[in-house]
Amino acid sequence: MINPYPYGVCYEERSPEALSSPDIEEIREIVADIRQDENRATEVIRRLRSLLRKAPFELREIDLNEVVRETIAIALTVGRPVELRSFLTAVPLPIRGDLIQLQQVILNLMMNAMDAMANLSSAERKLTVATARENSFAELSVSDAGPGIPPDKLKQIFEPFFTTKAQGMGIGLSIARTIVEAHNGQIFAENQTDGGAIFRIQLPHSQR
């Protein structure tokens, strides 16, 4: 399934202090830039509130495909203009997970992919999100068309404070790995043969 979103969102860079303490007014400013109807903006605010809320770790039965669909909606609302292609399994992928924390992981991977393609033309920015059933695991992959990860850095990519971004803090992927491992899963990163990077997450499939 292809989901073209021709619009983009412009936003200003914020200081680390501002980013460390987001509030509803800041969220409203982001949403104000969205060229969509009032109902859509209200839904975005609700989802962003959930992502930013500090909630206890809570495992429950969820469908990975539904988690991905919701996160895609958020990422394309606050992200950059890209061509997003999503290929989700036709059947549910039940797992036991914390909805909010898994959304944070997926959103981080998608925003990283968008950042990796920042220097490409709009036509070249292709972001692909896919799910699959791999043996006893539900798998999610996020891939981009950027320059890829330097081969000598692949083993360090999930280490705390390691970053390839000029302004990065190097904690996003480390936190992502911590969350995935808390779900008894694994996260991998590799370069694609035709260019760009791909991140894969495998989570134990929950039999219903």
pLDDT tens digit sequence for 28-53: 565 555 544 455 545 555 555 555 45
pLDDT given for residue 169 in this prediction: 37
Long-range contacts of 150-153 (CB under 8 A, 24+ apart): 151/191
Q: Which residue has the higher pLDDT, 9 or 83?
A: 83
User: Is 146 within 8 Å of 126 (Cβ atoms)?
Assistant: no
pLDDT given for residue 45 in this prediction: 52
| Residue 2 clears pLDDT 50, i.e. is over it | no
| Residue 198 clears pLDDT 90, i.e. is over it | yes
Give the start-end residues of each E strand in 106-185: 126-134, 137-143
pLDDT given for residue 47 in this prediction: 56
pLDDT given for residue 7 in this prediction: 37
Q: Can you name the CATH fold of 2-7+59-204?
A: Heat Shock Protein 90 (3.30.565)
In this prediction, residue 61 has a pLDDT band, given cuts at 50, 70 and 90, of very high
pLDDT given for residue 50 in this prediction: 54
What share of the chain in percent tops pLDDT 90?
41
Tens-place pLDDT, residues 96-138: 999 988 998 999 899 989 988 988 998 899 999 999 998 899 9
pTM score: 0.69
Please work out, in degrees rounded to the nearest 5, the angle formed at the alpha carbon of residue 160 by the alpha carbons of 156 and 166.
80
198 three-class SS: strand
| Residue 6 clears pLDDT 80, i.e. is over it | no
Average the pLDDT over each of 19-28, 90-99, 123-132, 175-184 and give the range with the smallest value. Answer: 19-28
**CA of 70: how far to CAs of 65, 100, 122, 169, in Å?**
9, 11, 24, 26
pLDDT given for residue 9 in this prediction: 38
| Residue 183 clears pLDDT 80, i.e. is over it | yes
